[in-house]
């Protein structure tokens, strides 16, 4: 059952990640080349600052999913309805508070960021970009969490894919006909309103939800423990942009965001392998299927690590020549920074390696036990990034995030090894060390002067060769150095 469910989740996620990555690359490239890096950097900065409102949900999204696993496994619709009633009330309060935050940004943003864009245009961009987040909180999040906790990923990802394609198509048309970026963003937000509407009707039709039930008393008792992890995620994704908004120009924000867009795309493809992992683990824990969980996690974690190292090593070799083509007409000055690239790629590697372990920690409800780790990461990220900016500039910003992420990875692995979870799953540090050493060696030995590649056809051919080469090398490393994992996967395929 779990095997088929995992395959369905991974398959449904794969198409969405391709669409999201391609859409992001196309739209960001069009914005940079048609409107300029200053406009792109301003949009990224505004989006990042608006995301800070999510701190108000106190990490509740993860806690709600955790609370839903057990009643969903037992079809306890009274309990499910009560949990969702509490969630809807809370998220609507956040939506109302968000309106005040938007007003605050309208007043203060132009006083902080030095930009060539007019104040009125920036304010309109803030309003346009904020619309979708407001309606998501007001009506969509609780329904999304129910669907994902119930492992209905196929429906959710299909909906996301369709909406993203519609948005990409209309955005290309508007940009092609030289419409203002403000109109483009208003249209984007309007299209994405389809999501909460469809989720509402899907839940209303498919689930036996009692909308008149009283909210659960003392709901989400782990809410404040989940807040620590929520702030940590928010910090890692947005503190860099906040500091850049204060200390750097929109152009430098654009440079940072383009690298992160590519690496986040790689991250999304890697995380396809863990799609639905939290809900599967949550159900196994609820049913006390510990032996099954151990085997499932060992298999999934190894595959995830293998794919991450293949992707990260490949992207480190091809990202500079990619950007040389992607940002054309002499506009790529500052984007082709090898030192910055190495730091930000390593940072993304460390962040990705924590993913399977976080799924186990959160599915087991270990929010309180690990909140100190998450909050320390936030403090380190903020302090180190702030200090290193004065010494290393934009590279220092990424170095601070890299070191704080490394701290989190080490601490969460130590927590698992010393907690009750150690009897259920294992932490494979040897795997990380060996893959990292060989990844660095592959990068150093096989560097090719790809910067001379000037067209997409040559890049696709060379990039494909690099990818296939890395797949072969890391598979060989996996087979040679990890016989236990080789046996687990061999048994998995023989049983199919």
State mean pLDDT over 478-483: 83
Check residue 28 and give its pLDDT. 86
Domain hosting 120: range is: 2-494
Average confidence score pLDDT of the chain: 81
User: For residues 83 and 219, what is the distance between their CA atoms, to the nearest angstrom?
Assistant: 7
Per-residue pLDDT band for 217 (boundaries 50, 70, 90) equals low
pTM comes to 0.74
Burial class (CB in 10 A: 0-12, 13-18, 19+), 454: exposed
State mean pLDDT over 275-279: 66
Look at 75-84, 193-202, 329-338, 405-414 and tell me which has the smallest mean pLDDT.
Answer: 329-338
Helices (H) and strands (E) in the chain, counts: 20, 0
Which residue, 223, 450, 420, is CA-closest to 316? 450
Residue pair 175/29 in contact by the 8 Å Cβ criterion: no
Q: Would residue 276 be called left, alpha or beta, if left means φ above 0 and alpha means ψ between -120 and 50 degrees?
A: left
Can you tell me whether residue 482 is helix, strand or coil?
coil
Whole-number percent of the chain with pLDDT over 70: 84
Look at 16-20, 168-172, 184-188 and tell me which has the smallest mean pLDDT.
Answer: 16-20
Structure tokens, 315: 């992207």
Check residue 310 and give its pLDDT. 94
Check residue 486 and give its pLDDT. 66
> How many folded domains does the chain comprise?
1
Segment of 93-102, 224-233, 236-245 carrying the highest mean pLDDT:
93-102
Q: Is the model's pLDDT at 131 over the cut of 90?
A: no
State mean pLDDT over 361-375: 79
Q: How far is residue 78 from each of residues 67, 83, 289, measured CA to CA in Å?
A: 13, 9, 25
For the stretch 193-211, pLDDT in tens is: 888 888 888 888 888 887 7
Burial class (CB in 10 A: 0-12, 13-18, 19+), 320: middle
Check residue 489 and give its pLDDT. 60
Check residue 34 and give its pLDDT. 85
């Amino acid at each position: 059952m779990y095997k088929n469910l995992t395959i369905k989740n991974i398959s449904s996620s794969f198409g969405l990640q391709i669409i999201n990555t391609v859409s992001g690359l196309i739209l960001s490239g069009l914005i940079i080349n048609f409107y300029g890096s200053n406009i792109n950097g301003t949009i990224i900065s505004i989006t990042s600052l608006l995301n800070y409102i999510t701190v108000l949900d106190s990490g509740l999204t993860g806690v709600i999913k955790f609370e839903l696993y057990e009643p969903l496994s037992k079809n306890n619709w009274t309990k499910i309805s009560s949990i969702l009633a509490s969630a809807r009330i809370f998220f609507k309060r956040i939506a109302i508070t968000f309106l005040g935050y938007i007003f605050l940004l309208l007043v203060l943003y132009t006083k902080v960021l030095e930009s060539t864009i007019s104040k009125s245009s920036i304010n309109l961009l803030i309003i346009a970009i904020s619309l979708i987040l407001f309606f998501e909180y007001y009506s969509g999040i609780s329904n999304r969490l129910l669907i994902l906790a119930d492992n209905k990923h196929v429906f959710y990802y299909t909906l996301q894919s369709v909406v993203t394609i519609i948005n990409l198509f209309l955005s290309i048309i508007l940009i092609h006909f030289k419409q203002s970026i403000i109109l483009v963003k208003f249209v984007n937000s309007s299209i994405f309103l389809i999501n909460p509407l469809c989720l509402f009707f899907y839940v209303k039709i498919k689930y036996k939800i009692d909308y008149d039930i009283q909210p659960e008393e003392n709901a989400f008792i782990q809410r404040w423990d989940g807040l620590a992890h929520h702030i940590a995620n928010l910090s890692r994704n947005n503190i860099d942009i906040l500091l850049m908004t204060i200390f750097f120009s929109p152009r430098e924000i654009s440079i940072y965001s383009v690298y992160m867009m590519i690496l986040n795309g790689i991250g999304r493809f890697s995380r396809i392998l863990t799609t639905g992992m939290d809900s599967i683990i949550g159900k196994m824990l609820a049913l006390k299927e510990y032996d099954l969980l151990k085997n499932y996690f060992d298999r999934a974690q190894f595959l995830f690590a293998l794919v991450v190292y293949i992707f990260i090593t490949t992207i480190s070799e091809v990202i500079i020549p990619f950007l040389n083509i992607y940002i054309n007409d002499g506009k790529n000055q500052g984007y082709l920074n090898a030192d910055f690239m190495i730091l930000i790629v390593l940072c993304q590697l460390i962040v990705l390696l924590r993913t399977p372990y976080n799924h186990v920690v959160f599915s087991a409800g270990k929010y309180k036990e690990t909140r100190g780790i998450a909050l320390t990461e936030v403090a380190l990220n903020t302090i180190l990034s702030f200090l290193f900016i004065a010494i290393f500039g934009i590279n220092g910003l990424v170095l601070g995030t890299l070191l704080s992420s490394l701290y989190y990875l080490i601490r969460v692995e130590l927590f698992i090894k010393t907690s009750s979870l150690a009897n259920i799953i294992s932490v494979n540090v040897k795997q990380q060390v060996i893959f990292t050493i060989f990844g660095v060696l592959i990068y150093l030995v096989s560097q090719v002067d790809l910067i001379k590649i000037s067209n997409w056809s040559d890049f696709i051919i060379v990039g494909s060769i690099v990818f296939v080469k890395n797949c072969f090398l890391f598979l060989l490393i996996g087979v040679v150095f990890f016989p236990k994992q080789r046996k687990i996967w061999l048994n998995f395929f023989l049983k199919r």
